[in-house]
Each structure stands twice: as C-alpha cells, then as structure tokens.
Amino acid sequence: MRRTTRRLGGLLAATALVAVACTGGSGTDDAVRPGLGGPGSSIDLGDVELTSALVRYDTCEAYLADVRAEALARVTPWGLEGGGWYGGPWMVAEEAVDDSAGADAATEGAATPDAAAPPTDGREVSGTNVQEEGVDEPDIVKTDGTHLYAVVAGELQIVDISDPAGPVVRSSTPLAGGWGAELLLVDDRLLVTQTLSGGWDEPMPLDGGGASDDGRAAIGAMPVDPGPGGPVPWSSSRTSLALVDVSDPTAPRVERTWSSEGSYVSARMVDGVARVVIRSHPAERLPFVQPAGPNAEDAALAANRGVIESSTIDQWIPSFTLLDGDGTELNTQQVARCDRLYRPAEFSGFGVLAVVTVDVDAGLGDGSGVALGADGETVYASADRLYVATNRWVEAPAEASDAADPAASSIAPWGPEGEQRTAIHQFAIDTEGPAEHLASGSVAGHLLDQFSMSEHDGVLRVATTDGSPWGGGGSESAVAVLEPQGERLVEVGRVDGLGLGERIYAVRFLGDRGFVVTFRQVDPLYALDLSVPTAPRLTGELKIPGFSSYLHPVAEHLLLGVGQDATDDGRVTGSQVSLFDVTDPAEPTRVAQLDLGADASSEVEFDHRAFLWWDGLAVLPLNRWSWDDRTGNEDYRTGAVGIDVDTGTRALAERGRITHIDQSAGIGGAGTLDPWGTEIRRSVVVDDVLLTLSERGLLASDLATLEPVGWTTLG
C-alpha cells in the first residue's frame, strides 16, 4: 500500500495552534476559555495571548467548558441557532418551570478524471468519473470487469457481466437506508455508505427499518436501540458504513458495520483506505424546550440554559458503534478521542465535522477519527490531502441585536451582502491511522461544488462567488490561492472581478491553469494563469450564449462543456455540448457546438459521476420534459446520448441515443412505453459493450453503434 509524506510550503512555520489542557474534571477552570473571541480577536489563556486558527483540546472537560460557554452566549427560548423546533416540550407558562428544570431535562435526555477499474483477464473497463487521478469517489455503480455492483431501488444489485452483452443478476440485497447509498470497491469487498433516518418522536431504529418485507437482512441493519436518551426527534439521522464481502456474488456477506450519529457527507479513497466525512448537530441530542407563547419565553430560556449547563460531552460529540457481521459489538466510543477534538478559534457553529478513517483491508479498523467543532458541506481530496468546506456562520450586525430578544442576536450562514465566507479545513491523509488536521482558513464568498477547489504544488486554489448565491445584485466571482502556514490556510494570491452580476456555473483546474464559467445572460468562459501562486491572473475570456455546468478535458488544450443553451437575454432553451480550444490563454474559442434538444437537461449538469468519457466517446444521461398549456399534454422522454468528439478535426457528432423504454424488439421492458423509472443514471464500458443503468434495468448496447444487444431487468 503506497504511503507518501510531503511537506507543504510553510508547514514548518511557527504555529498558532493552542493545546488546551484542563486540570480536574469539573470543566469549569476559568483559564480554559478559548474560542470566545470574535473575528480576528486574540485569545487570552492565562499569560499567553495569541491569535489562533484552531484550538486543540487535550481533555473532554476543556472542550465541554468551551462549547458550553459558546452555547450559553447564543441559546434562545427555542434552543440554539435562533429558532427551530427540535422536538422539545412546550413551555405553556412562565411559571411552568423553576431553576432546576433545565438540569432535570438534561439528565433525562442524555444520549451517548475517469478512474479505470482494475482490468480482469485483460478486459478494458471504465470506472467512476473522478476529479483527481488515483482518488476514488463513491458512486451508485462500481465494477471489477466481471461483476457490476449497483444501488437500484433501495437494493444492492450484483450483476455478472462476464458476457457484457448478456448480463445476469446474481443477487439482490435490500439496503437498510433504502435510496441514497453509495459504494466503494476494493478487490472483493464493498464499502456501502448510507444515511439512515429515524421517525418522529419514536425510538430511532439504527437499521433504518430493519429487514426487508421478505425477511432478508438489510445491509447496514443494526439492532434497534434508541440509546440512553430514549426517543429522538424526526430530524435525527445516522451514518452507516457496511463492509460487504462479495467474493460470492450470489450471497454477499456483511463483515462489519459501523454506525454513528450524523449525516454522511461524502468520502474519498486512496490505496484502499477511505476517509469518510460525517456531520452532526448537538441540537438533536439536547432536550431543549420551546415557549407556547410570549409569556413563556423567559421560562423557556431559563430551562434551555439549564440544559446547556448540565450537558455532557456525549451530547456534543457523537458516538459510533462497530459490530461484527453476526451483530457482536466490537467497539463503542466517540467518533474522535478528546485529544483529537478541535474547534476554530473563530466561532463556526455547533455542528461537529468528523473525518473517519476506514481501512478496508483491516476490516474498517478501529472506526475512530478526528473531529472539528464546525460544519461541512463540500469535500475535495488530492492524493494526500483532504479538504472540507462550508459556508461560515456570520454574526448578525451589532445594530440588529436586541438584548431583550435573544433570538435577534442569532447567527446565520448568510450575512449582509459581501460578508459571506467559506471556511476550509485541511487534513493529511497520507499517513497511517486517523486523518490529521493540518490547517484551517477561509475565503470570501461561497463555493459551487467540489470542483471549486484544487490542490497543486502544495497550494489550494478556490473559486467562489461573493454576493447573492443566485447571481445578480452586485455579485462577482474570484479565484483565491491559499497556502498552509502553520495551522492556517493563508490567502497569498487572488484574481477577482470575474462575472460581475453573475455566479459561477462550472470550474475546472488543470495544472497551472484554471477555467471558470459564470452566467446571467451570456456565458463568459474565463481562462486563468495560476503558475505564480502569489500573482494569479486572468488571461482571456470568451462570451457566448448559454453556459456550461461541467467541464471535462478531452485532449491537451481542449475542454468539453456540458450545459444549457440560452437566448441573448439569458433564457435557457435546452441541453448543449460545446468544445472549447484553450490553446491560446488570451483567446479561448468555442470550436464546436451540439444542440441536444429543447427543454432537455442532463444529470451531468449537477453530478459529474454521470459523465462517461471513453476513447473519444462522451456518454451522458438526457431527459426532456415539457408541458403544453393549451392542450394540457405532458411530454417526458428519457435516455442517454453518445457523442463522438473528434479532437483532430475538432468536431462533435451524435453516435446515437439510448432509451430504456421498450420501443420495438422487447429490449427495455415488457412492452410498455411508460418512461417512469427508465431514467439512465450511469454508463459503463466493458470491452466493446456499453452498459447503461436505470431503476428498471441494465441495457447492453454495441459500443460502435449504440444499438441494443441485451437487457436485464433489475429491482
């Protein structure tokens, strides 16, 4: 297994990390008060005063003291974050509780680029379309060239594709979480990731519903156990990681199951070791109350303050359970030990962001990780660094605060225009054991998706839109360059002024170059020179109608764009594919365009994993929906389109279209024209056959002509 160690620029600089230790177990040591300052403030820890990007805790007591102080400063009669019902009881009158009610409530509620798949017998097999070579991403389809593993209609389907023209289903196994599962494949093991939801005001089943209707055990299923906290609100969720042995495709066997409070965000895998990102919120574990009316607000606030003062570490940091395949409990503990807990010195919300290391060869390992007192939304990884980003919480302006109304001083993810920021956390994933937090920082504006981040030569490039997230109203975009300096990600370069009044629709970083698409009425494609991190610069732009939502390199200096065409006034008209020549950085040009039909759209526009690039052929799902107001007729068509990209003549042409709706010879179903469930989600190449997947089935098509040659019903 490959393991590399690389020092990033500035990593040996003097650090500003604060290691906090607490003597005694009360968690009330007055010297332990990091993280309470506002933006740019200094932190007073006894005789030490410095500005810190991150606070590290050596004990649970220290973390608990800090988070309690933050929560007491922000709690309202409705709980944390200025409102929202977390399922607590109503406070019907101010006399409904006394000063001890909060403590009692707390005690009762305590709760603990295309990645080619490995060839088989010399076969040529496509893999998941990933952002970075060598960094696998989870998806609903994986293949080893002999079998195809797919999440279809809430089940794991294993299909024998030894003869790709005649696929054969070997097994169908229900998934505990139903839809939404994703897969990672290592040799003959699958890592199945799911988010499992509970029910309203009932004990939440850890298996998300238990066995299937026919009694088969579901992958990810665990014994129903609401835990010491008893019933939890409907918004609670758990993340399940199931390690499944698929060496016998007719009988997949669960080897280990890892389950934790919180929602699965995403994962990345390098050399068989996955880093899984999970976010959770303590409000789901704290038994807050809420007022039934204005006269009960003071009592509710007092009760909620009591909940915080009596809270335990288990209510702020989620725990996980690791089970053997037979249900034997192997381990239960916090997702991160207290000496692996961090909080940004600048308050970043009450969410907990955990990065869990899962070594498939080691049977998931011990299941532990590292955790930040922050949220996380967007995940990007290079071969040795993982980044998690989120819109940073912005304090309400002082003039908007009202001491008499605690809710008025709540925090929100969006501040006044121009004050949105994105927090970014960097982790090392090139060492054995848990990921290691390296640095944190922030940039102005908000991200589009994972392609908004890219690491190159030790620096991180980040594309953001500042202003309205929907464009217009003075918004503009920029690319910032961040360098790790100690435990900070410091902005060392920036090029801004991109797309005034517009927002970003697509980003692609390729080595020392970057390409950004913005849109409002026309589509500017901006070309950037990023070879000097401290002086990134705009080199050229191209303005055309419409926009691209996904950019894919198809040859040196050629980009394929998938998006929407539009009129001159910015009204989108339907899917298009564009071929851009970016040889001259001062003058990018569109050398070919292919209209895919009015009112059409593609999943590729928001999920790059739906895109297949294979030896000059691009395959993308294509759906068309229209409504005729005069007749009341609805027209819905679905399928996929194969596009030949001639990089020599720089031309685009359709090779053919594929549908899972039965139109002629019985391929695609039982003689029905019903399109529902036939949306093609993914495409896979096996030798000279193209396999396309929908919830209805798996269609085999001749790769040269895209004519159907075989069909297998799924689900």
pLDDT of 523 reads 67
pLDDT at position 494 over 90: yes
| Phi, psi values for residue 245, rounded to 5° | -80, 115
| Lowest mean pLDDT, pick from 274-278, 372-376, 395-399, 408-412 | 408-412
Burial (CB count within 10 angstroms: exposed 0-12, middle 13-18, buried 19+), residue 573? middle
20 or 330: which carries more pLDDT confidence?
Answer: 330
Task: List the one residue out of 500, 448, 501 whose CA is nearest residue 472.
Answer: 501
What pLDDT, in 10s, does the model give residues 679-709? Answer: 999 999 999 999 999 998 999 999 999 999 9
Mean pLDDT (whole number) for 43-61: 56
**Confidence (pLDDT) at 487:** 87
Q: What is the DSSP string of 539-594?
A: EEEEEEESEEEEEEEEETTEEEEEEEEE-TTS-EEEEEEEEEE-SSTT--EEEEEE
Would you place residue 1 in the very low, low, confident or very high pLDDT band (cuts 50, 70, 90)? very low
Mean pLDDT, rounded, for 440-454: 94
Distance CA 537, CA 531 (A): 9
Q: Does residue 693 sit in helix, strand or coil?
A: strand
What is the percentage of the chain residues whose pLDDT exceeds 90?
52
| Helix segments in 132-201, DSSP class H | none
510 CB-side CA count, 13 A:
17
**What's the pLDDT score for residue 569?**
79
At 50, the pLDDT band (50, 70, 90 cuts) reads: very low
pLDDT at 55: 82
Contacts of 12 (CB under 8 A, 6+ apart): none
Which residues have CB under 8 Å from 96's CB, separation 6+? 296, 299
Highest-scoring range by mean pLDDT, 162-176, 197-211, 461-475, 667-681 = 162-176
Q: What is the pLDDT of residue 367?
A: 75
| Chain Cα centroid distance, residue 536 | 28
pLDDT at position 627 over 50:
yes
Average pLDDT over residues 539-556: 94
Element (H, E) at 141: strand 141-143
Q: How far is CA 382 from CA 51, 129, 269, 434, in A?
A: 29, 15, 10, 17
Binning pLDDT at 50, 70 and 90, where does residue 577 land? very high
Residue 390: pLDDT above 60?
Answer: yes
| Whole-number pLDDT of residue 362 | 87
Read off the tokens for 700. Answer: 């085999």
Please give the backbone phi and psi of residue 230, each rounded to the nearest 5 degrees, phi first. Answer: 70, -145
Could you tell me the pLDDT band of residue 250, with boundaries at 50, 70 and 90?
very high
Per-residue confidence band for 99, with pLDDT thresholds at 50, 70 and 90:
very low
Q: Is the pLDDT of residue 163 over 50?
A: yes
Query: CB within 8 A of 145, min separation 6: which ones?
Result: 117, 118, 119, 120, 121, 123, 125, 161, 686
Are 200 and 234 within 8 A, CB to CB? Answer: yes
Question: What pLDDT, on the 0 to 100 scale, is given for residue 420?
Answer: 80
pLDDT given at position 478: 96
**Is 644 buried (19+), middle (13-18) or exposed (0-12) by CB count in 10 A?**
middle
Going by C-alpha positions, the residue among 191, 226, 182 that lies closest to residue 207 is 226
Question: Mean of the pLDDT values across residues 588-598?
Answer: 95
The 3-state DSSP class for residue 608 equals helix
pLDDT at 164: 94
Of 237 and 270, the structure prediction assigns the larger pLDDT to: 270
Q: Residue 660: how many CB atoms within 10 A of its CB?
A: 26
pLDDT of residue 222: 64
Inform me whether the pLDDT recorded for 625 exceeds 80: no
Answer whether residue 230 shows pLDDT above 50. no
The residue written with tokens 């303590």 in the block is: 282
User: Which pairing describes strands 168-174 and 48-50: parallel, antiparallel, or unpaired?
Assistant: unpaired
The length of the chain is 715
Helical (H) or strand (E) element with 489: strand 488-498
Yes or no: say if 358 and 67 are a contact pair by the CB < 8 Å rule. Answer: no
Q: Is the dihedral of CA 202, 208, 209, 215 positive or negative?
A: negative
Q: So what's the pLDDT on residue 53?
A: 61
How far is 34 from 501, CA to CA, in rounded Å?
Answer: 40
Task: Round the average pLDDT of the chain to a whole number and report it.
Answer: 79
Report pTM: 0.83
Query: Which tops the pLDDT comparison, 177 or 416?
Result: 177
Q: For residues 470 and 520, is the Cβ–Cβ distance under 8 A?
A: no
Give the pLDDT of residue 241. 94
Among 81-95, 324-338, 453-467, 521-535, name the most confident range: 453-467
Mean pLDDT, range 165-183, rounded to an integer: 89
The pLDDT tens digits of the residues spanning 475-491 come to 889 999 999 999 899 99
500 pLDDT more than 60: yes
pLDDT on residue 64? 92
**Confidence (pLDDT) at 356:** 94
319 neighbors 261 (Cβ within 8 angstroms): yes
CA distance linking residue 205 with residue 219, whole number of Å? 14
Residue 410 has pLDDT above 50, yes or no: no
